[in-house]
Amino acid sequence: MITTPLDSAVLNSKEQYTFYHKMVDFVLKELIVSIQQQQLCTYQELIFLNSIQI
């Protein structure tokens, strides 16, 4: 059993963890794109957000 550090999701297999990781990665990328399109933060903040992607 794997418990994720960010939201304490309990995953029962490596396959579930792989799917979870891909899902979180996708959501973060989509969030950054949306933030950029709507100009909700500065260029420096966008650089920071892109640097912390998993």
- Quote the CA–CA distance of 6 and 30 in Å, as a whole number: 18
Number of Cα atoms under 13 Å in the Cβ half of residue 17: 12
Write down the pLDDT at residue 1: 67
pLDDT in tens, the chain (54 residues): 666 666 667 778 888 888 988 988 898 889 889 998 999 999 899 888 888 766
Predicted local confidence at residue 13, as pLDDT:
85
